[in-house]
Amino acid sequence: MPGIGILISLVLLVLSGATFVSFGVAFLRGDMPGIETFGVLTIGYSVIAIFTFLVATTKRPEFKRSGVFSGAIVMWFTLIFASMPPFLLLENAHPAAAFFEAASASITLGTTLVPVEKISTAMLFFRSVLAWIGGLLTLMLAVYVLGRYSVGGTPNRDLRFVLHGASRGDPRLGATFVEVVVPYTAMTLACMALLTLAQVNPVQAVLGALNALSTNGFVGWRVSDTIYNNRFAEFILMIFMMVGATSIIWRRTITSPQIFQTREQGESLSYLLFAFFAILAGLLFSFQTFPIDSQFASALFNRSFDIISTLTTTGIIHNPGAGIAVPAIFLIGLALVGGTSYSTAGGMKLFRFQAMMRHSANEVMRLIYPSQFLPGSVDTNKNTFTKTKAIWSAFFSVMLFLVFGMAVFAALGHDFISALTLAVGSFSSVGSMVGPHLFSVEGGGVPILSLIWIGLLGVAGRVE
């Protein structure tokens, strides 16, 4: 319990930073309701965080394996429920809608029920900073839980770059936090600077950077029905969406004297290659389904942007008025793959699909050469067998969970395609797959239980 108390206090302390930023924005805009709400929340969360920390540290905290997994779940729900008051007080949201909005931002889904033009500037920043914090929490739990215990076969060979003290059995949370937050913040600031140099409005540059690095699908502005109406700025956004979907370990080596070891991060390099071929395949499929009549170069860029956005599970649609001109089944496949391990992206992660393909090819070779010991075979190495078993178990668990998720959406009145898209989009945190299908029930409304179920699916996707 003391350990969970410390984790809760840390979440509330970081969340008070989000409310403080929103308080500052509300103050500059002269938004009195925002000033009052975020001011009180900043003070309240800071006091509660400090009090909880002091009480929890009266006893020596012990982070046992079972406690760490319980703590991960508690941290997510603490972040979501503590983020609900601004939606309740400033947007008069129904409690279920407030839960959906808070969960959508926290898990970096980015879908909202409120029209962008009706959202105050303070709430725009709150949603984006909350998503950035959600991305940071995703990275911390990936390093501290998923990688440390190799959950679902998560590779942990290079975890030493960010996880301190694990070899002594007492990983240091504070030192690990610094190792994660420094490259995460550095890349966010770099994205802000480049967008500003590309002549993007400073407010839009800040929001865009926060959402790109956290792979969040929320866009709090529109210019001529595009993201920025600026090709260079949108290209920068594509680059940093890819950065957000790659490993924090890879980013850590880039922003340190260990940059020469970047080449050892095989999964991130494979992901860049995979993204290249995904764009080519997606464009070919899109040409067959949605032929281009005019403005070939513009359509090519827009479709490439949407493919990258879906693959990285960011979920920003380049031109929402025109929709996504790429086959839905192909996008669902990309969303299931998602990003790499130790990234803010959702999905099952590329390393699992690589491992399953290697194992499948190896099993075929064993049928051809039954008497030989093949390199990398699960029979020749116990660790390989254990990791492969964990990866396949994770894959089938996700498939069963998604089928169950689809069944719930279907029971709530959504048609088959919408139920499938909502289940995959919620689990992988792809806003562009969730938003268009929210109101797919007969009558055009959205069931309250659908909103709650989307949030729960998203949390399940984050804790794996």
Tens-place pLDDT, residues 324-343: 788 889 999 999 999 998 99
Report which of 14, 248, 16 is spatially closest to residue 144, judged by C-alpha positions: 248
Q: What are phi and psi of 430, to 5 degrees?
A: -110, 100
**pLDDT tier at 59, thresholds 50, 70, 90:** low
Alpha carbons 173 and 177: distance in angstroms, whole number:
6
| pLDDT at 238 (0 to 100) | 94
Q: Which of the pair, 400 or 62, is modelled with greater confidence?
A: 400
Residue 297 has pLDDT above 80, yes or no: yes
Q: Which of the pair, 363 or 62, is modelled with greater confidence?
A: 363
Tens-place pLDDT, residues 150-195: 888 888 777 777 877 655 445 577 788 888 898 899 999 999 999 9
Alpha carbons 360 and 366: distance in angstroms, whole number:
10
Residue ranges in 30-150 assigned as alpha helix (H)? 32-56, 65-82, 84-90, 95-106, 121-141
| pLDDT at 372 (0 to 100) | 65
| pLDDT at 127 (0 to 100) | 96
Are the beta carbons of 209 and 227 closer than 8 angstroms? no
Share of the chain above pLDDT 70, in %: 89
How many alpha carbons lie under 13 Å from residue 232 in its C-beta half-sphere? 7
Tens-place pLDDT, residues 340-388: 989 999 999 998 998 888 888 887 877 777 766 666 566 666 777 788 8
**b/e per residue 98-111 (b: at least 16 CB within 10 A):** bbbbbbbbbbbbbb
**pLDDT tier at 287, thresholds 50, 70, 90:** confident
Mean residue pLDDT of the chain comes to 86
Answering whether pTM is above 0.95, one says no
| pLDDT at 219 (0 to 100) | 86
Alpha carbons 352 and 341: distance in angstroms, whole number:
9
Q: Which of the pair, 91 or 224, is modelled with greater confidence?
A: 91
Tens-place pLDDT, residues 302-319: 899 999 999 999 998 887
| pLDDT at 76 (0 to 100) | 93
